[in-house]
A and B are shown apart, each in its own frame.
Chain A
Amino acid sequence: MSSTATAEAAIVVDKLYAHYGEKPVLRDINVRVMPGEVMVIMGGSGSGKSTLLRHLLGLETATSGSVRVLGVDMVRAPPRALQEMRRKIGVAFQSGALFSSMTVGENIMLPLREHARLDTETMRIMMRLKLDFVDLAGTEDLMPAELSGGMIKRAAVARAIIMDPRLVFLDEPSAGLDPVVAAGLDELILQLRESGVSLVVVTHELESAFKIADRITVLDHGEILISDTVEKVKASPNERVQALLTRRVEHARHTPEEFLRTLTRR
């Protein structure tokens, strides 16, 4: 990667290592996300994709290496720089993370209330625009508990884009949704990309990943197996990548002796 490309990249992760206690959870992670690009992070359960996302968001501290988001070093930047950067990103968590004590409309307007000096009427108009964008028009007075799973995910996306961010992170946007709602969310992601937003999408839904991704990063046991275009990932000769793509069950990697030790361990 040239230095110019690095400077322009929305996200640059270099030699990232992370541990939970003694256990390594991310090893030698190197990732670039370019402006206007949809990067999908894939992997099985426990592969480290959610952990990587938390590092990209500055919610975890790396053991070593660096994470730069929109040019800001997530580990060493002063709080003010981090806060400024966070106004330019949007995040929709897997659970939606809508505040249960607020209405849908209040949830979506919260970043505006806290960061933008706008009058209430303007904020309401912006909130309704975003709700309309995610096909939830007319739900602003409902409480999150009154929404279905798919509606919560879409409301979370509306909150993530209310500040017109340059970079959006989506954690498992279509997990647990029926195919029609999931396809709707994929369309939404593609619309966001068309508007010039960079997106990082964590998912294990293959169909969705192939549809929305410009590039796919496949993680396994905290390591990147491949990070490339959809075609190259599909054509990868790596067995573990193919096992994930073809949903093939991987056989246990331990020997019979190790397995016996696991069973009889005190």
Chain B
Amino acid sequence: MRNFAENFGRVAVAALTELGQGAVLFAESLAWTVTGAARRQPVRFAAVLAQAMEVGVRALPIVFVLSIAIGAMVAIQGIYSLSIFGAESKVTLGVALSVTREFAPLITGVLVAGRSGSALAARLGTMTINQEIDALTVMGINPVRYLVAPALLAMLVMLPLLTWFADCVALFGAGLYVTAKLGMSFTAYLNELQASVSIDDLMHGIGKSGIFAILITIIGVVNGIGVTGGADGIGRVTTRAVVHGISAIVITDMLFAYLVIQ
């Protein structure tokens, strides 16, 4: 019992420490973004662009594939469920709301956590082990300004954009199935979509993706710089970054949905 209490206490303290570390990193990144130029250490646009390419542009093909499949899947399940009540004609409304408010931001967030969150943790972990972070520090280059702020800014721009892209592709995928199954024209489907989705619905999903962007980056960074050991340690923090990132996204999504709908 005592061992359990001790272990629980240790885990709780470690979790709180990581939470605090994440909050400090986030605040520091924002501070460098705003005040870096005045301190003669600006966050370089080229570094943000390079990260944006990696996080956003290179993720487009996989986001396209997943989104079109999920859009079609939601449409298939929607028509099947609604047909029980003879309400297949309402499927566009269901698809539109579930894709824009939930599926697109969630799937994009999970995908980016798996792809870019893990890459960030592995990169920073390797740099920590190879003393590259120490090298930056002793060169007078702040590692948060040089490594974390560009990744955060790129993620904050690219994840909402990817989510918007996923919205469009998933609704297109759903449209392909709905129009074929219900024998309606694509123009009629688009008209129904327009009537079903409001800007608020779109912003609900895109706004969430901004929060996911912060979570993915900070979790990736905290895990990366906390690495211990060698190659084994890199593997461990990479896995941890993905698991924590996806868990944080799903829990935040649930809380966000609850709070907004209340």
Q: Contact at B140–A97, with CB atoms within 8 Å?
A: no
Assess whether A111 is in contact with B130, with CB atoms less than 8 Å apart: no
- Are B141 and A89 interface neighbours, CB within 8 A? no
Tell which of B41, B132, B137 touches A99, judged by Cβ atoms closer than 8 Å. B132
What are 17 A-B interface contacts by the 8 Å CB criterion? A58-B137, A59-B134, A59-B137, A59-B138, A86-B137, A86-B138, A87-B140, A91-B138, A93-B134, A95-B130, A95-B131, A97-B134, A100-B132, A110-B139, A111-B139, A111-B140, A115-B140
In the bound complex, residues from chain B placing their C-beta under 8 Å from that of A111 are: 139-141
The answer to the question of B135 belonging to the interface, with a C-beta cut-off of 8 Å to chain A, is: yes
Closest approach, in angstroms, between the C-beta of A167 and any C-beta of chain B?
Answer: 11
Secondary structure at chain A's binding surface: helix, strand, loop or mixed? mixed
Which residues of A sit under 8 angstroms from B134, Cβ to Cβ?
54, 57, 59, 93, 97
Chain A nearest Cβ from B95, distance in angstroms:
42
> Given the complex of chains A and B, what is the CA–CA distance between A114 and B36 in angstroms?
12
Interface residue? A83 (CB, 8 A): yes
Q: Which 5 A-B pairs give the minimum distances between C-beta atoms?
A: A86-B140, A97-B135, A97-B131, A91-B138, A83-B140
Q: In the bound complex, how far is the Cα of B131 from the Cα of A169, in angstroms? A: 14
In B107-146, the 8 Å CB interface with A consists of 126-127, 130-132, 134-135, 137-142, 146
Query: Are A100 and B135 in touch, CB under 8 angstroms?
Result: no
> Across the interface, which residues of A come within 8 angstroms of B131, CB to CB?
93-95, 97
Contact B132 A97, beta carbon cutoff 8 Å: yes
- Bound-complex Cα distance A46 to B141 (A): 29
Query: What is the distance, in angstroms, from A94's C-beta to the closest C-beta of chain B?
Result: 8
Alpha-carbon distance between A69 and B134 when the two chains are bound, in angstroms:
17
**Closest Cβ neighbor of A117 among chain B residues:** B40
Question: Hey, which chain A residues are within 8 Å of B141, CB to CB?
Answer: 110-111, 114
Nearest-neighbor residue (CB-CB) of A59 within chain B:
B134
Q: How far is the CB of B70 from chain A (nearest CB, A)?
A: 34
Chain B positions 2-58 with a Cβ under 8 Å from a chain A Cβ: 39, 41
Contacts of B135 in A (CB 8 A): 91, 93, 97, 99
B138: contacting residue among A80, A89, A100, A114, CB under 8 A: A89
Measured CB to CB, the nearest residue on chain A to B134 is A59
* A79 → chain B closest CB, angstroms: 8
**What's the interface size class on B, roughly?**
10 to 19
Bound Cα distance from A83 to B132, whole angstroms: 17
Interface residues of A in 91-105 (CB under 8 A from B): 91, 93-95, 97-100
B142: chain A residues at CB < 8 Å are 83
Q: Measured between alpha carbons, how far is A95 from B131 in the docked complex, in Å?
A: 8
Using a CB–CB cutoff of 8 Å, the interface residues on chain A facing chain B are 54, 57-59, 80, 82-84, 86-87, 89, 91, 93-95, 97-100, 110-111, 114-115, 169
A83 to B136, CA, bound (A): 11
- Contact call B41/A97, Cβ cutoff below 8 A: no
The complex places the Cα of A99 from the Cα of B131 at a distance, in Å, of: 10
Cα-based distance from A82 to B137 in the complex (angstroms): 10
Instruction: With both chains docked as a complex, state the minimum distance between the C-beta of A75 and any C-beta of chain B, in angstroms.
Output: 15
Shortest distance from the beta carbon of B244 to any chain A beta carbon, whole Å: 25
Mark out the residues of chain B between 138 and 156 whose CB falls within 8 Å of any chain A CB in the assembled complex: 138-142, 146
Q: How far is the CA of A89 from the CA of B139 in the complex (A)?
A: 8
Nearest opposing residue in chain B for A111, CB measure: B139
Which residues of A are found within 8 Å of B146, using beta-carbon distances? 114
Task: Please indicate the chain A residues that have their CB under 8 angstroms from the CB of B140 in the complex.
Answer: 82-84, 86-87, 111, 114-115
CB-defined contacts of A57 to chain B, threshold 8 Å: 134, 137-138
Across-interface contacts of A100 in B (CB, < 8 A): 126, 130, 132
Which residue of B is nearest A107, CB measured?
B135
Q: How far is the CA of A111 from the CA of B141 in the complex (A)?
A: 8
B46 → chain A, closest Cβ, in Å?
A: 10
The residue of chain B having its C-beta at the shortest distance from the C-beta of A54 within the complex is B134
Most chain A CB within 10 A, of B132, B140, B141, is at B140
Taking CB atoms, residues of chain B closer than 8 Å to A93 are 131, 134-135
- Residues of A near B130 (CB, < 8 A) are 95, 97, 100
Q: Measured between alpha carbons, how far is A86 from B131 in the docked complex, in Å? A: 17
Q: How far is the CB of A224 from chain B (nearest CB, A)?
A: 23
- Bound Cα distance A48, B185 (Å): 77
Give the docked Cα–Cα distance between A83 and B39 (Å). Answer: 11
Closest chain A CB from B262 CB (angstroms): 43
CA distance A89 to B140 in the complex (A): 9
CB distance from B197 to the nearest CB of A (A): 41
Kindly state the separation between the CA atoms of A115 and B132 in the bound complex, as whole angstroms: 18
Closest residue on chain B to residue A115 by CB atoms: B140
Which residues of B, 190-240, contact A by the 8 Å Cβ criterion?
A: none
Task: Output the nearest chain A residue to B137 by Cβ-Cβ distance.
Answer: A59
List, in ascending order, chain B residues with CB within 8 A of A83's CB.
Answer: 41, 140, 142
